Structure 1
């Protein structure tokens, strides 16, 4: 579907965000159009991170909105917590939380709506299938789904107000001396999060239409190995790739994370990033505390056993 719009003279910041606001579309829909090269400004192909040109004429082809995920009853699904208003499920590594395009399958949401059909109508964007949060494809662990629209709004508000306890296990490269906290802001650029440690960096990014977001990551040492450290990580905010970007910025990238750690993150026998959402705790829509724990997957347990045996 081709759309044409002239950006308001008051528009500012990144082009993708300004377009989503001006067109009244979800940011995922606009992001997809950029990925497909279907956005042009003054006749020239544009990037999502381009700075807004107030008053510019923009042409954009957007895909038809995706409907609810197609139920896949044969897909495995591990339910950690189930209440009348929500479910917390255990996401395996290697699958997305929900579809991005019409007809896409093989996601966690496809399995969830097969067992909990009411989740399909819970989220404002039907394709999300009631998912209140997301994890990276290679990250495993707790994911929260709402079972009705009112519950989704209440739970989403908890995340926005930073009232959700989110704990991860992360194996990182090197020996970490002690626990700590990073509050370095992060800006999204080219599919990754970029640390913004000083005003000069922030000024350069703002000039490119990139706006740093507050990010706060706490960690403590769970176990040290000869060449790696297992951390228990708690995040207060929820910026894209937050844990991965903050730990890499500290010089301790997550093992198996080629995007932020490069070759230094490689570990024999590890075929994914070692990041697992082990605990999720939140006050449910009715006020009752909901707590979910996800055990470390066998493939990650095996990595720790090998590291321990090598000491």
Structure 2
């Protein structure tokens, strides 16, 4: 049986919105799970975004479109279980529901975005670590570097910061969350870049993850800006041989073979998102 495809009017509509000014005000986000385990992407704010509660199995990807001016965060949840009312728990990153309306529980690796004429983006370990994650901007202008953490801090987490389940380290707390002091939390008299400096703990995070925030005032080496970005690729558990990815023709293409497993899933997800937008606009 032949595969169905969009009718001509819908196809024309998709081409029109993808090349017109409406589409240029939005930014595509492709979330890729290269971990060996299922993750549940967390995303806030998530109004009118339908993919945030979906379980993302190993090797699969999903796509969502953020509106102009979106200011939000993305993270991965692990070991989740939800009931028929969409309430439940996760081993890490949980927010109490399948679709998040509040930030996930720390420790969690978090990608942060502020979209505008100039985008600001980073990957933060200020609230701890639960999964390796990188962010790659596509077709932008400026210092559009890939940021995040390819290394796995769970393997080298100081014993006092380790969060365990059944004897296995599933996350690494921040020193702030563990010790709860002004010095580690950069508050009170330490709430400025002069007095809030790197500690032994944040330095150990930085050694493994040099392109991620390790403490509150780590911005000079961790916050990046980019303009005219068409897409962001958020990859969980990236491979070290992954170098460059592009998003052309609504397919994710890399110069290494590792991410090819996500191409078909991404293509399918893109059509679903576009058709949903068409149905909403009708």
Q: Is TM-score (shorter-chain normalized) higher than 0.5?
A: no
TM-score (normalizing by structure 2): 0.25
TM-score, normalising length: structure 1: 0.23
- Larger relative contact order (Cα-Cα within 8 Å, sequence gap ≥ 6): 2
* Larger Rg over CA atoms: 1
